[in-house]
């Protein structure tokens, strides 16, 4: 989403200015070309050289710089920008923009740009709750400026409360969301992700290699595209995208209850989770002790959540996954019809660069009308957008029919 985008990153004077360095790293890693503008106060906290080195672009500190003015002019950055981000943003700079004051390079660029602008405030808690500040933020929100609210914590001024700059990752996510299509506005999308754990006793369980990466990529992309996202997740080591509603579960039984309980709220449900098909018939209350040379376990079927969703009288649009190690078309088509779903995303999990616990995937999509679409190897983030493109066009067709 940020690849080759021109991003203007405004850094204003506050102790959190050092966190803008990490934000710059995230933006450049995602492929953005970042142009940093620092206010005079910001330069008291971090040197322009740090930003210049990491962005590989000159850092702008003066409104009228003789060389820059000759080469690009003081409005050129505003025209060139695809996105503006101010992090940290002081009450002072927010107040100036709200009042229409453009008296330095940053405020001039932000006032002159037609690109979306993301503002991440950081300030003393009493400044943040001051009605004058609140009016300024409300006014900018009304005019379409996007805000990443500060978080609670110990502030540099000695106070405790709201005012700490949001994590660089949260500001980064807001930046990506600002540049995304918002074709999922007003839709509720449920995504299931990760493995389930079926306990044998207090110390052991049956599970699988799902890392949750595919499901979390889908949740993130849907959130960026404007959806309200319910993420039902088995145990994984991933941070949920900010703003999604996380429902953490352990077992297939818990996932079943969570999904069926919220299905009625959803326009579409995407089931990327690797749900255990069987669980131990009984869970021992105490650790099972080692005895003979063999141990037999009796397993019983777990509820097939996707199939149950397919039987609902008014089912949301249903996307199932199929993890196969061969006969991809045959098994995927069977799942499509037997589970009565609208679309199956089939991955051959015997390949080392696809399926479980890798950042990439290679899938074939199967649709109810018999269409099949091959998707070449790509990142799970890119694939999530491809899947959402297909869901969005199917939903549009359904809504127009």
Q: Which two tokens stand for residue 228?
A: 């309200």
Q: Are 5 and 83 in contact (CB under 8 A)?
A: yes
CA nearest to 186, candidates 272, 264, 266, 269: 266
Considering the complex, state which of residue 189 and residue 275 has its C-beta at the smaller distance from ligand PMT: 275
Considering the complex, state which of residue 110 and residue 345 has its C-beta at the smaller distance from ligand PMT: 345
We find the least distance from the C-beta atom of residue 377 to ligand PMT, in angstroms, to be: 13
Q: Are 250 and 298 in contact (CB under 8 A)?
A: no
Q: What is the DSSP string of 153-188?
A: EE-TTS-EEEEEPPPHHHHHHHHHHHHS--TTTT-E
Helices (H), 11-80: 19-29, 48-55, 66-71, 76-80
We find the least distance from the C-beta atom of residue 360 to ligand PMT, in angstroms, to be: 10
CA nearest to 122, candidates 83, 158, 152, 84: 152
Q: Which two tokens stand for residue 316?
A: 């949301």
We find the least distance from the C-beta atom of residue 206 to ligand PMT, in angstroms, to be: 13
We find the least distance from the C-beta atom of residue 93 to ligand PMT, in angstroms, to be: 40
Considering the complex, state which of residue 162 and residue 389 has its C-beta at the smaller distance from ligand PMT: 389
Considering the complex, state which of residue 13 and residue 310 has its C-beta at the smaller distance from ligand PMT: 310
We find the least distance from the C-beta atom of residue 396 to ligand PMT, in angstroms, to be: 23
For the question of residue 266 being annotated catalytic, the response is no
Backbone angles phi, psi at 151, to 5 degrees: -110, 170
Considering the complex, state which of residue 317 and residue 321 has its C-beta at the smaller distance from ligand PMT: 321
Considering the complex, state which of residue 45 and residue 356 has its C-beta at the smaller distance from ligand PMT: 356
Query: What is the chain's length?
Result: 401
We find the least distance from the C-beta atom of residue 322 to ligand PMT, in angstroms, to be: 4
φ/ψ region of 163 (left if φ > 0, alpha if ψ in -120 to 50, else beta) reads left
Residues found near ligand PMT in the complex (CB under 6 A): 192, 194, 210-215, 252, 271-275, 277, 302, 304-306, 320-323, 335, 347, 349, 355-357
- In sequence order, the 6+-apart residues with CB closer than 8 A to the CB of 313 are none
- Using DSSP's 3-state secondary structure scheme, residue 8 falls into strand
Considering the complex, state which of residue 177 and residue 276 has its C-beta at the smaller distance from ligand PMT: 276
Q: Which of 157, 373, 377, 398 is flagged as catalytic?
A: 157
Report CA-CA distances (Å) from 346 to 57, 175, 271, 362. 43, 31, 12, 9
We find the least distance from the C-beta atom of residue 380 to ligand PMT, in angstroms, to be: 6
Is the torsion defined by CA of 188, 194, 200, 203 positive or negative? Answer: negative
Residues annotated catalytic, as ranges: 157
């Amino acid at each position: 989403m940020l690849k080759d985008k021109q991003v203007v990153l405004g850094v204003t004077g506050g102790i959190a200015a050092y966190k803008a360095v990490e934000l710059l790293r995230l933006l450049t890693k995602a492929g953005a070309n970042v142009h940093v503008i620092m206010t005079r106060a910001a330069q008291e906290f971090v040197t322009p050289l740090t930003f210049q080195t990491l962005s590989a672009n000159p850092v702008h500190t003066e409104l009228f710089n003789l060389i820059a003015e000759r080469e690009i002019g003081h409005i050129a950055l505003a025209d060139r920008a695809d996105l503006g981000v101010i992090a940290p943003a002081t009450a002072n700079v927010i107040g100036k923009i709200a009042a229409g004051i453009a008296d330095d390079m940053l405020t001039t660029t932000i006032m002159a740009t037609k690109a979306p602008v993301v503002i991440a405030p950081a300030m003393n808690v009493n400044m943040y709750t001051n009605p004058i500040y609140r009016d300024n933020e409300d006014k900018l929100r009304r005019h379409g400026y996007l805000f990443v609210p500060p978080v609670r914590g110990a502030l540099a001024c000695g106070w405790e409360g709201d005012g700490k700059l949001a994590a660089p990752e949260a500001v980064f996510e807001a930046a990506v969301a600002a540049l995304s299509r918002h074709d999922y506005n007003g839709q509720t999308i449920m995504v299931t992700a990760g493995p389930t754990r079926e306990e044998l006793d207090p110390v052991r369980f049956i599970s699988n290699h799902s890392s949750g990466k595919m499901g979390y990529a889908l949740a993130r992309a849907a959130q960026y595209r404007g959806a309200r996202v319910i993420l039902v997740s088995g145990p994984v080591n991933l941070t949920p995208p900010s703003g999604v509603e996380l429902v953490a579960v352990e077992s297939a039984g818990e996932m079943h209850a969570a999904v069926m309980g919220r299905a009625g709220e959803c326009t579409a449900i995407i089931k990327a989770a690797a749900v255990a098909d069987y669980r131990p018939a009984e869970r021992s209350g105490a650790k099972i002790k080692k005895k003979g040379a063999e141990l037999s376990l009796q397993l019983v079927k777990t509820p097939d959540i996707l199939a149950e969703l397919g039987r609902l009288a008014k089912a949301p649009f249903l996307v199932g996954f199929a993890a196969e190690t061969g006969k991809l078309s045959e098994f995927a088509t069977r799942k499509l019809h037997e589970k009565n779903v609208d679309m199956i995303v089939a991955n051959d999990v015997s390949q080392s660069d696809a399926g479980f616990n890798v950042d990439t995937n290679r899938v074939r999509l199967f649709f109810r009308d018999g269409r099949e679409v091959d998707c070449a190897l790509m990142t799970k983030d890119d694939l999530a957008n491809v899947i959402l493109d297909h869901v969005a066009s199917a939903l549009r067709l359904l809504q127009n029919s």
